Amino acid sequence: MAEETIFSKIIRREIPADIVYQDELVTAFRDIAPQAPTHILIIPNVLIPTVNHVTVEDELALGRMITVAAKIAEQEGIAEDGYRLIVNCNRHGGQEVFHIHMHLLGGRSLGPMLSHKGI
């Protein structure tokens, strides 16, 4: 069984967060250290530590993360100009909280995904 994270407490509303969407499968809330004018985290309500831990049973929640991202992008007014969805996996991928989560970023031009140096 995976260790509970701060995200588990946000889902249960035990600690404050600016929740913009919640249903039986996913929760979405504003990042406390935004990297763009719109920076929202979308998480499954069940604890899945990393992408490596995803199973067939998780497909509905992960699909919901994508449809919720599109809905929030529309509500935030960034859908037409565009936005970025990011899921990091493990230490080298930049994952800091080990509860799978998707970053929804937008509101300005985000530039290239990666630099070409070192590729």
Q: List, by residue number, the catalytic residues.
A: 101
Partners of 19 in the beta sheet? 29
Torsion angle in degrees (nearest 10) through CA of 17, 22, 26, 30: -30
Q: State the Cα–Cα distance between residues 104 and 84, nearest whole angstrom.
A: 6
Q: Which of 82, 88, 71 is nearest to 28 (CA)?
A: 71
Kindly tell me the number of DSSP H helices and DSSP E strands found in the chain.
2, 5
Residue among 16, 7, 5, 2 nearest 103 (CA): 7
